[in-house]
Amino acid sequence: MASGGVQKEKRAAGQRSLFWRQLRKNQLAVAGGVVVILLGLVAILAPVLAPYDPGAYDVKQILLPPSQAHWLGTDQLGRDALSRMLFGSRISMAVGFVSMGIAVLLGTLIGTVAAYYGGRVDEILMRFVDLMLNFPRFFLLLTLIALLRPSIWVIMAVIGFTGWMGLARLVRGEILSLREREFVSGARALGAADARIMFRHILPNALVPVLVSATLGVAGAILAESGLSFLGLGVQPPTPSWGNILIEGKANIEIAWWLSVFPGLAILVTVLAYNLLGEGLRDALDPRLRQ
């Protein structure tokens, strides 16, 4: 028994070592991971890093270009753009992670139940997934946000509740390939409950594509929040987010280019970093894609 445990630990250590070796080979994924970590640190340390209060007005400092005093310039109300960008990163990261957490929870639950029970349960749940996929996501977001009062919590919930369908189908496919394996039959023979078999024995073996999809989904959620804020349906001023900073700069783009360029670049770099990291995780975790 002890020997079996040692062998299992060795196999797990070998798999982790192989994963890290494969990931390190993909320099773009490593770069994406470094950027993601830095963005997380910036979001956490925003109150420390911000040189000014992001909500402080100064009519004498209106629309100043980037300078030593204001590295990213000031906006139409004299607020420091760098400070607002730093605090805006907190909103974007929070929306990305919380909304994707909701989507992962819903998609994993529905996909697992549908695949495990099959038959009528699978048919009903998958037809519901197909129905939801027939609605263009962004228009569904706009409709729900318009019906509800825009707030950071509403936006997180709406993005999460409209982004689980692809994950459900992905998890269902993985569970279908696992539910007839020997270890599942053994758990059934021992009298394990359905819930234990699904979430203790089967689901842990299907989490690799979920992890990759969740990483890519964070980028999509950040982009969705930025789009909503740009349309005035996202995070409401004076709370800074990259999307509403971008739309505030739109009115003065001809004389204050920095108010549109810097938040646009922040969104671009963030989405690209998460996509590169997600692709790298997929390549490192999927044995079929290893070179």
259 with 248: CB under 8 angstroms? yes
In a domain, 196, yes or no: yes
Confidence class of residue 268 from pLDDT cuts 50, 70 and 90?
very high
How much is the pLDDT for 288? 53
Number of domains in the chain: 1
**Domain at 41, CATH number:** 1.10.3720.10
User: Mean of the pLDDT values across residues 151-157?
Assistant: 86
Percent of the chain with pLDDT over 90: 36
How much is the pLDDT for 120? 93
Cα dihedral 216, 231, 99, 128 in deg (nearest 10) = -90
In a domain, 109, yes or no: yes
In a domain, 58, yes or no: no
152 with 96: CB under 8 angstroms? no
| pLDDT tens-place string over residues 179-200 | 878 888 787 888 888 888 888 8
In a domain, 264, yes or no: yes
The 10 Å CB-count burial string (b at 16+, else e) for 107-144 is: bbbbbbbbbbeeeeebeebbeebeeeeeeebeeebbeb
In a domain, 10, yes or no: no
CA–CA dist 1, 7 (Å, integer)? 10
- C-alpha distances (whole Å) from 179 to each of 138, 182, 201, 205, 211 are 35, 9, 9, 11, 20
Nearest in space to 78 (alpha carbons), one of 41, 108, 52: 52
Structural domain range at position 137: 19-53+64-289
In the block, residue with structure tokens 């129905």: 131
Mean pLDDT of all residues in the chain? 85
User: Encoding tokens for residue 291?
Assistant: 């070179």
In a domain, 103, yes or no: yes
How much is the pLDDT for 58? 86
In a domain, 59, yes or no: no
At residue 165, what are phi and psi to the nearest 5 degrees?
-65, -45
| pLDDT tens-place string over residues 36-80 | 999 999 999 999 999 999 988 888 889 999 999 999 999 988 999
Q: How much is the pTM?
A: 0.84
How much is the pLDDT for 1? 44
Q: Is residue 273 predicted with pLDDT exceeding 80? A: yes
Confidence class of residue 15 from pLDDT cuts 50, 70 and 90?
low
Confidence class of residue 177 from pLDDT cuts 50, 70 and 90?
confident
In a domain, 155, yes or no: yes
Confidence class of residue 98 from pLDDT cuts 50, 70 and 90?
very high
Beta strand segments in the chain, E? none
116 with 85: CB under 8 angstroms? no
User: Encoding tokens for residue 148?
Assistant: 């509800």
In angstroms, how far is the first alpha carbon of the chain from the final one?
35
